[in-house]
Structure 1
C-alpha cells in the first residue's frame, strides 16, 4: 500500500508513545491500532500489522532491562511456557473470530485493572523487598499467565495489565522487575502470534516497520525512566494508563 508523509509521521509518533506506554505499563496499542485503521487497514489487518512494532519494541526494552540487571531469569522457563501456549491459542482465535469481540474484551480489561489499582494497589504494586513467589509454588500463576497469553495473542492492547496482574499480583515481583518480565513474555507470545498472522497473510510490512521504528525509540527511553523513577510514580502512571485505555475503548467505533 502507498504510505503518505502524514501517515508515516502518524505511525512514528504513535509508535514512539506506544513504546513508552507499553514498556512502563500497557495499553500502547490503543494508540497504534487506531493509527493503522485511520490509514484504511481493516481491523484484522491492523491487529496483525501492529505486532511488528510490538516485537521490535519488546526486543529493545528487554535488552535495556537486561543491561541494567532488572530481568529476573530464574523463573523465565515456567513463566514463558504458559504465555507462549496462550499466545498461539489467542492468535488462532483472532484470525477467525469476529473483530467485534475486541472492544468489549479491551474495555473489560481496562476497567478491571483500574478498579484493582484503585481499591487494592498492593496487589499490582507490591513493596520493594516483598518475597517473590516462584511459579512452581504458585499454581494460580499458570492460570493468569495462560490467560494473559490468550488475551495478548487475540487483541494485544492492554495485555501488559494482565501480565502485571500475574507477575506482580500472583508472583509478587516489584513493578520494575515485573515490567521486565512482562516485556520478556510479550516478546515471545507476540512472536508466536506473528507466525500465525504471517501464515494467514494478514501483515502489511511497510507500515508495520515504520511503526516499529517509533516503538523502538520509545522503548529505549522508557527503560531508562523505569530504572530511575520511584515505584509510587510507576504505580500512578499505570493507573493513569488504565483510565486512558478505558476511555479509548469506550470511544472507539
Structure 2
C-alpha cells in the first residue's frame, strides 16, 4: 500500500514537471523505481514507459494551448532515434553501479542547467504574445526547392545535439527534456515557452525508440508500479501544461532544482560503495 501511495505522489510530480517545464520527469521516475525495489536496469526501462506516455499526453495538451511546433519537434526527434537505439543497446553492457553513477552525474548536470535557465528566464521575463513571439516557419535549415539550400553549421548542431539526447534517453532511461529545451532554443531558435512544449514531442519519440529496443532484451520492470506512476503522471502533465501556458513557473522550477540535487545525492550514495 505504501509503495502505491509513493508511486501516485511521485507520478503527479513527474507529470507536473514534464507538463510545466518540458522535462525533468525521468529524473524522478528512475530514483522512485529504485526506491521501490527495482534494479537499475528495470528502473531505467520503466522510466521510459512513464516518461514516454506522459510526454505524449502533455504534448497533446500543449498543442491545444498553442505552445507546440509539431513539425520541428518531430524532425528533431527523428534525428535522435539513432542515438536512442544505440544508447539502449549500450546500457545492457554496463554494470549497474556504473549506470547509477552516470545517472547521478547527469542529475547534477540537469540541476545546473535548470539553475542557468531560471536566471535567463528572470532576465527575459514577460507575457507571451503569440503574434510577436511565435517563430516563423519559413526559415528551414535545408530546402530542395526551388534550389538546394543548406545552413550546414546549424544542421550539424541539430544532428549532434539530437544524437546526444537520444543516447542519454536510451542509455539512462531519461527523456532528456532539460537538454532538449536548450537545444531547441539554440539550434532551432525557438522561444523558451515553445521549446518546453515542443520538447514533449521529442521526448515521446526518443522514449518510444529506446523502449522498443529494450523490449527485445527481456528487461521487465514491475508493471503495477509503472502503471500507477504513469496514470498519475498523465494527470500531472495535463495540469502542468496548462500552468505553463498561463502562469510563471519560476518557483516550481526552483523547487524542482533543489529536489534534483537531493535525489542526485541519494543515488550517488547508493552507487559509490559498489564502485570502490
The TM-score, its normalising length taken from structure 2, stands at: 0.77
Query: Which residue in the other structure is 1:62 paired with?
Result: 59
Aligned pair 1:50/2:47, yes or no? yes
How big is each residue's C-alpha offset from its partner over 1:81-140, in whole Å with a ceiling of 9 and x where there is no partner? 2211111111111222222333443344444454456568549x9776386775543121
How big is each residue's C-alpha offset from its partner over 1:181-223, in whole Å with a ceiling of 9 and x where there is no partner? 2110111111111112221121232221121111111111111
For residue 143 of structure 1, the aligned residue among 160, 168, 171 is 160
> C-alpha separation between the residues in 2 aligned to 1:57 and 1:144?
23
For residue 22 of structure 1, the aligned residue among 1, 14, 18 is 18
Aligned pair 1:182/2:212, yes or no? no
**What are structure 1's unaligned runs of at least 5 residues?**
none
Moved more, 46-55 or 21-30: 21-30
1:151-166 to 2 correspondences below 5 Å? 151-157=168-174, 159-166=176-183
Query: Which residue in the other structure is 1:251 paired with?
Result: 266
> C-alpha separation between the residues in 2 aligned to 1:36 and 1:114?
20
Indicate conservation of the 8 Å contact 2:51/2:175, yes or no. Answer: no
> C-alpha separation between the residues in 2 aligned to 1:166 and 1:135?
15
Aligned pair 1:12/2:30, yes or no? no
Aligned length: 246
* Structure 1 residue 19: Cα displacement: 0.8
The TM-score, its normalising length taken from structure 1, stands at: 0.84
Indicate conservation of the 8 Å contact 2:175/2:207, yes or no. Answer: no
Aligned pair 1:209/2:227, yes or no? yes
Indicate conservation of the 8 Å contact 2:82/2:166, yes or no. Answer: yes
Indicate conservation of the 8 Å contact 1:72/1:181, yes or no. Answer: yes
* Structure 1 residue 150: Cα displacement: 0.7
For residue 170 of structure 1, the aligned residue among 175, 184, 187 is 187
Indicate conservation of the 8 Å contact 1:149/1:189, yes or no. Answer: yes
**What are structure 2's unaligned runs of at least 5 residues?**
143-150, 271-276
> C-alpha separation between the residues in 2 aligned to 1:177 and 1:185?
13
